[in-house]
């Protein structure tokens, strides 16, 4: 009994977590399902599952304790308690952010149900009809467990008809139908309709609207047609974005940055300003954040704990001398700034002082490469901070990525709204001024740092949240020798590095190292990616640049697909998910070209060594959900495909498009672009070099 109560508490613990509408295979504790070779002993699940053998055994004991005599009812109830193991259990057990004791039981058929096994099933009625007169010990259908008023009972043994007045009452409490975004339970594992894969877009049409070379673009949080752009050196500009189809260019005055942090940012081959984020309530509180690298030797403000330390078996005095004149000479910093004082209200601010309000975090770097550095606010209001494995020869030589005592090779999740006192920061042994969200995955784990949200990453270069489905937290992760990957980041997920490189076992080509035992980890494999061998046969270089789920109507043939690119190859891929919400992607390398009427011509120089577009550093998304490509040659925006004479049957092509030139040139695979790449680009050339 004690064990059973423990189990219930364990479930309740999981269920306390608030969860957005889920639409991806996720467990009720927000973690990704794991992969199981064989069927569980008790519950009929295998493959992608949300239970391990321990939990399967707990469910079996819970079920046996119910002592259900009737075989028909018994089998239905078994299927219901086993739904915990369903890969969609997060969706089944948390409906409208409210946790449930029983999965959502399908009570009707819905015309546009995404589920293949839901047709004509009123499973809720079936449960009532079959079980209403059957005694169940510790019934999971008790009203109190569902947070509902039913028939009051003080007995632990009850029939449904003791607990609920009627089928209608019962099904009001437990029933529901699946919708576009959610699933319901019919007594067997959730299965999605295998819809036909839509054909890939004919091509992507781009226009060039700016000449500058930027690493970050962040839409203004006030929802206006403005966005912030930052470069590697540490300058941020506030630009007005031209209306789609207006023929205008980015309005940005290079000589008038919004803020200039170049005095503190250390600019070098692989160092600089890597990330920029605005507080979701920036329009009220004026808070914004920059992520950059600094150099202790050049700036006294550059001080913090060294990520090479005794906790992680790293002796700073043994680091190679080319990593700096002193251990952890270079640091990754996230610092907070404000526009208070520069305008009457934050949205009107066009400049900010480069005065640091608060240091959020400082992490001393062991080597000079692979420290990612993007920062992003999630819908949950927390700040996500992407960190690479810290570099070094032979692929993560100190095993930082798999070591949960290290912040390297991790995605961190920090609460920057509740800043503890310095006393508490010391007591909690934090690396800076933030608090730990209660539901971070490793808060209870003494062998892990509580900042960690996900681990096993190499160099997460450009992550984004799907604006329609926040559980789709996408990251490109740059590979080493063979594979570039796109991951869906989930709570506590291990993305495999450096045991795996993408789906492949990683075998370092330098001195063979005894790596983390393969069987000891349960990695989450990428959902998209490409082999190095498929691109850039000339140079062999490859480095992924993660992008966005396209959610604009500008190119309706792109809607709902995930876009990503390669830094060197100027190839752009679109990932299409079928069935929708399954996490199963098919990818296509999509041809692209520049609109003949592009506001800035995408000029080309025959024989230029630069790939088309230059180097693709990053993507951006504006407040209209239009998508931008930030490259060494400038800023490009996706425009209606017809402007490049690509056919998209979903596009409404009007014959009189003012800005369309009378004789558009036929689309080429890509317009070669040349001129205005800055010298910084040369530095950046090596930024992501893979081996
Ligand atoms: C899982 O499956 C793989 C191949 O599919 C096999 O090599 C491995 O032995 C299996 N593991 C277990 C624990 O059954
Ligand atoms: C099963 O999962 C639970 C909860 O995540 C964990 O505490 C337990 O150690 C796991 N058991 C096994 C055998 O992996
Ligand atoms: C289980 O049910 C049977 C009758 O169906 C009863 O005899 C037995 O005592 C019950 N066991 C428990 C533990 O309630
Ligand atoms: C899903 O499949 C069911 C039956 O297999 C069908 O009735 C339903 O229309 C399908 N839904 C969609 C969105 O295709
Ligand atoms: C359950 O009991 C109700 C009322 O006593 C009766 O109408 C119904 O037929 C019974 N159902 C089953 C499945 O025995
Ligand atoms: C439930 O509680 C009521 C009043 O508190 C009592 O009269 C009744 O006997 C109890 N029933 C059981 C099954 O314990
Ligand atoms: C199914 O359950 C939902 C939620 O309680 C309710 O709103 C809906 O009316 C039910 N549909 C049917 C057909 O019972
Ligand atoms: C994944 O998508 C492909 C292409 O549409 C399809 O053939 C395959 O069945 C899907 N796999 C799953 C598990 O749904
Ligand atoms: C961008 O560069 C092109 C070609 O050098 C030049 O014609 C154009 O005026 C520049 N545009 C801006 C906005 O700087
Ligand atoms: C800026 O102003 C807002 C609104 O008055 C206030 O909430 C915030 O604390 C201020 N921030 C700083 C850093 O002064
Ligand atoms: C990396 O991990 C492996 C296995 O866990 C270990 O043998 C090796 O010594 C580690 N390397 C370092 C530098 O700690
Ligand atoms: C195209 O036109 C149809 C009918 O006028 C409209 O419903 C649809 O929203 C339009 N699509 C786009 C992408 O503008």
187-224 pLDDT per residue, tens: 999 998 888 889 999 999 999 999 999 999 999 999 99
Nearest residue (CA) to ligand 10, atom 5: 285
What separation in Å is there between the alpha carbon of 406 and the centre of ligand 11?
14
What separation in Å is there between the alpha carbon of 385 and the centre of ligand 8?
32
Q: To the nearest 5 percent, what fractions of the chain are helix, strand and coil?
A: 15, 25, 60
What separation in Å is there between the alpha carbon of 1 and the centre of ligand 3?
15
Q: Predicted confidence band at 3 (pLDDT cuts at 50, 70, 90)?
A: very low
What separation in Å is there between the alpha carbon of 146 and the centre of ligand 11?
48
Go through 144-165 and write b for each residue having 16 or more CB atoms within 10 A of its CB, e for each that does not: ebbeeebeeeeeeebbbbbbbe
Question: Does 286 sit in the ligand 10 pocket, CB within 6 Å?
Answer: yes
Q: Please report where in the chains the tokens 């989930």 appear, as a residue.
A: 490
Using the predicted structure, report yes or no on whether residue 144 has a pLDDT greater than 90: no
Ligand nearest to the CA of 349: 10
Q: Are 368 and 388 in contact (CB under 8 A)?
A: no
Q: For a substitution probing ligand 8, which of 577, 578, 581, 582 has the most ligand atoms within 8 Å of its CB?
A: 578
Using the predicted structure, report yes or no on whether residue 502 has a pLDDT greater than 70: yes
What are the pLDDT digits (tens) for 447-467?
999 999 999 999 999 999 999
- Alpha-carbon gap, residue 689 to 209, rounded angstroms: 28
Long-range contacts of 157-163, Cβ-Cβ distance < 8 Å, separation of 24 or more: 159/131, 159/132, 159/133, 159/134, 159/135, 160/127, 160/128, 160/131, 160/132, 160/133, 160/134, 160/136, 161/132, 161/133, 163/139
Atom of ligand 4 nearest to the CA of 120: 7
What separation in Å is there between the alpha carbon of 47 and the centre of ligand 1?
11
Q: What is the mean pLDDT of the chain?
A: 87
Residues with CB under 6 A from ligand 11: 313, 397-399, 514-516
Nearest residue (CA) to ligand 12, atom 7: 652
Does this model's pTM top 0.85? My answer is yes
Using the predicted structure, report yes or no on whether residue 59 has a pLDDT greater than 90: yes
Long-range contacts of 307-315, Cβ-Cβ distance < 8 Å, separation of 24 or more: 307/363, 307/364, 307/365, 307/366, 307/390, 307/400, 307/406, 307/407, 307/408, 308/364, 308/366, 308/398, 311/405, 311/406, 312/398, 312/400, 312/403, 312/405, 312/406, 313/398, 314/366, 314/398, 314/400
Q: Predicted confidence band at 605 (pLDDT cuts at 50, 70, 90)?
A: low
Q: Predicted confidence band at 147 (pLDDT cuts at 50, 70, 90)?
A: low
Domain annotation for the chain: domains and CATH numbers: 22-176 (no CATH), 209-594+612-628 (2.120.10.30)
Residues with CB under 6 A from ligand 6: 154-155
Nearest residue (CA) to ligand 8, atom 13: 584
Q: Are 584 and 578 in contact (CB under 8 A)?
A: yes
What is the DSSP code string of 321-381? GGG-SSTT-EEEEEEEEE-BTTBSSGGG--------SEEEEEEE-SSSS-----EEE-TTS
Atom of ligand 4 nearest to the CA of 112: 13
Atom of ligand 8 nearest to the CA of 192: 14
- Alpha-carbon gap, residue 307 to 371, rounded angstroms: 12
Using the predicted structure, report yes or no on whether residue 657 has a pLDDT greater than 50: no
Q: For a substitution probing ligand 3, which of 67, 137, 157 has the most ligand atoms within 8 Å of its CB?
A: 67
Q: Are 262 and 294 in contact (CB under 8 A)?
A: no
Nearest residue (CA) to ligand 10, atom 4: 285
Among 70, 43, 67, 68, CA closest to 54:
43
Please tell me what DSSP assigns to residue 243.
P
Using the predicted structure, report yes or no on whether residue 280 has a pLDDT greater than 60: yes
Atom of ligand 12 nearest to the CA of 553: 13
Atom of ligand 6 nearest to the CA of 153: 1
């Amino acid at each position: 009994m004690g064990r059973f109560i423990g189990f219930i508490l364990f479930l309740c613990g999981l269920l306390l977590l608030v969860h957005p509408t889920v639409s991806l295979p996720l467990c009720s504790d927000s973690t990704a399902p794991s992969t199981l070779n064989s069927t569980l002993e008790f519950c009929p699940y295998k493959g992608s599952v949300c239970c391990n053998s321990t939990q399967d055994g707990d469910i079996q004991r819970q079920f046996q304790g119910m002592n259900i005599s009737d075989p028909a009812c018994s089998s239905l109830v078994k299927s219901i308690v086993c739904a915990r193991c369903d890969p969609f259990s997060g969706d089944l057990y948390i409906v409208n952010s409210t946790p449930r004791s029983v999965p959502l039981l399908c009570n009707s058929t819905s015309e546009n149900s995404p589920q293949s096994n839901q047709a004509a099933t009123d499973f809720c009625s079936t449960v009532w009809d079959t079980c209403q007169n059957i005694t169940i010990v510790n019934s999971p259908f008790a009203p109190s467990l569902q947070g509902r008023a039913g028939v009051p009972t003080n007995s632990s043994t009850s029939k449904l008809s003791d607990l609920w007045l009627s089928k209608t009452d019962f099904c009001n409490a437990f029933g529901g139908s699946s919708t576009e975004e959610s699933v319901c339970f019919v007594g067997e594992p959730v299965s999605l309709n295998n819809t036909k894969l839509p054909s890939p877009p004919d091509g992507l049409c781009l226009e060039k609207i700016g000449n500058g070379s930027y690493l970050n673009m962040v839409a203004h949080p006030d929802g206006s047609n403005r966005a912030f752009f930052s470069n590697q050196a540490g300058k941020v500009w506030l630009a007005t974005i031209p209306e789609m189809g207006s023929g205008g260019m980015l309005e940005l005055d290079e000589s008038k940055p919004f803020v200039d942090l170049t005095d503190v940012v250390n600019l070098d081959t692989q160092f600089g300003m890597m990330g920029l984020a605005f507080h979701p309530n920036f329009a009220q509180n004026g808070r914004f954040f920059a992520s950059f690298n600094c150099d202790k030797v050049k700036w006294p403000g550059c001080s913090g704990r060294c990520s090479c330390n005794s906790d992680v078996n790293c002796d700073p005095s043994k680091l190679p001398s080319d990593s700096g004149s002193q251990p952890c000479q270079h640091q990754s910093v996230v610092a907070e700034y404000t526009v208070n004082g520069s305008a009457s209200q934050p949205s009107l601010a066009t400049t900010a002082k480069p005065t640091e309000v608060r240091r959020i975090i400082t992490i001393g770097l062991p080597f000079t490469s692979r420290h990612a550095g993007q920062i992003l606010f999630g819908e949950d209001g927390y700040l996500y901070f992407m960190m690479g494995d810290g570099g070094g020869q032979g692929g993560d030589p100190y095993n930082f990525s798999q070591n949960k005592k290290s912040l390297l090779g991790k995605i961190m999740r920090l609460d920057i709204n509740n800043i503890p006192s310095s006393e508490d920061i010391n007591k909690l042994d934090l690396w800076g001024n933030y608090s730990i969200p209660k539901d971070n995955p490793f808060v209870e784990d003494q062998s892990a740092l509580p900042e960690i949200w996900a681990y096993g990453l190499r160099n997460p270069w450009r992550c984004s949240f799907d604006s329609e489905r926040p559980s789709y937290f996408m990251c490109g992760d740059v590979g080493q020798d063979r594979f570039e990957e796109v991951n869906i980041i989930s709570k506590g997920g291990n993305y495999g590095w450096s045991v795996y490189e993408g789906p492949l076992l990683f075998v370092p080509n330098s001195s063979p190292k005894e790596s983390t035992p393969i069987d000891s980890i349960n990695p989450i494999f990428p959902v998209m990616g490409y082999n190095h061998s498929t691109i850039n046969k000339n140079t062999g270089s490859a480095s992924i640049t993660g992008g966005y789920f396209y959610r604009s109507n500008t190119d309706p043939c792109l809607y709902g697909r995930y876009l990503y690119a390669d830094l060197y190859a100027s190839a752009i891929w679109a990932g299409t998910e079928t069935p929708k919400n399954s996490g199963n992607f098919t990818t296509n390398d999509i041809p692209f070209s520049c609109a003949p009427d592009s506001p800035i011509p995408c000029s080309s120089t025959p024989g230029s060594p630069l790939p088309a577009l230059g180097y693709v550093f990053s993507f951006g998304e504006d407040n209209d959900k239009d998508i931008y490509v930030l490259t060494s040659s400038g800023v490009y925006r996706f425009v209606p495909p017809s402007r490049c004479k690509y056919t998209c049957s979903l596009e409404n092509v009007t014959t009189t498009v003012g800005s369309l030139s009378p004789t558009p040139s036929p689309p080429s695979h890509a317009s070669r672009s040349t001129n205005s790449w800055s010298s910084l680009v040369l530095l950046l050339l090596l930024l992501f070099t893979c081996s």
